Amino acid sequence: MIRTRHIKQMLTRGEFTTVDRWWTRRTSIHPGPLGGNTPSFEFATSDDLWAACCEYFEWMETRPQYESRPMMYKGIVNLVNVPLKRPYTLTGLLLFLDLSIYMWGIYKKDRGDVWTEVIEKVEAIIYTQKFEGAAVDLFNANIIARDLGLRDRQEVSGPDGGPITTKELTKVDLATLSDDDLDAIVDAIDRHSSKGGQS
C-alpha cells in the first residue's frame, strides 16, 4: 500500500527540496561583485586562470544535483534524494569565472601559447568528462552527443567501396505484348498477391 499522505507530509516539511543556487557560485580568484555594470574581469596570469578553472571542476564534483526518487520499504514509499553527477560545460565555467565567450576567445587566441595551452586543456577536460560520462550512462547520451557535435554517419557505396551504380529501366508498351505475355504477367501478379505481397 502506497502511503501518499506520508509523502505529501514530507514534501510540505521541505525534506526533499534542495535549493541549488549554482548561478551565484563563482571563483574565489575573481575580486569583483557578481553581475552589475562592473567591467569584465581579466586574469593576471594563465596560472590564475588554470586555478580558477580547477576550482570550477572541484565545485562541480563536490556539489551534485539531486533527484528525488520513490523507494518502497516494507510497504511504505519514501522519497530518497539520489545524487547525480553534473556534466562540466563551457557555459557553466564561464558563468563561474564571470567571463564572456568573447573574453575566453581572446585568452585563447591573443594572449600567447601558454594561455592557449591552458584553454585547450580546459576544453579537453570538459569534452572528455561529458563524453566518458555519457559512455557509462551518467549523462543522457543523446544530449551529450548533440552538444559535442557527434553524429552517427553511415556511408553507402557500391561493390568494393566504389560508386553506386544505377540501372535505367526500360519502359514496356503493353499494347505491343501478346495475349500470352499479358496472361503471364497477370498470373505472376496474382501469385504475388496471394502470398501477401511476400516474395
pTM beyond 0.75, yes or no: no
Q: Which of 21-25, 109-113, 147-151, 163-167 has the lowest mean pLDDT?
A: 21-25
What's the confidence (pLDDT) of residue 1?
Answer: 39
The set of cell numbers assigned to 8 is 505529501
Q: Is the pLDDT of residue 37 over 50?
A: no
Q: What pLDDT score was predicted for residue 160?
A: 76
pLDDT reported for residue 121: 96
Name the average pLDDT for the chain.
Answer: 78
Average pLDDT of the residues in 110-123: 93
**What are the structural domains, with CATH classification, of the chain?**
4-148 (1.10.132.80)
What is the distance between the alpha carbons of residues 92 and 99, in angstroms, rounded to a whole number? 10
- Run of H or E residues at 193: helix 179-194
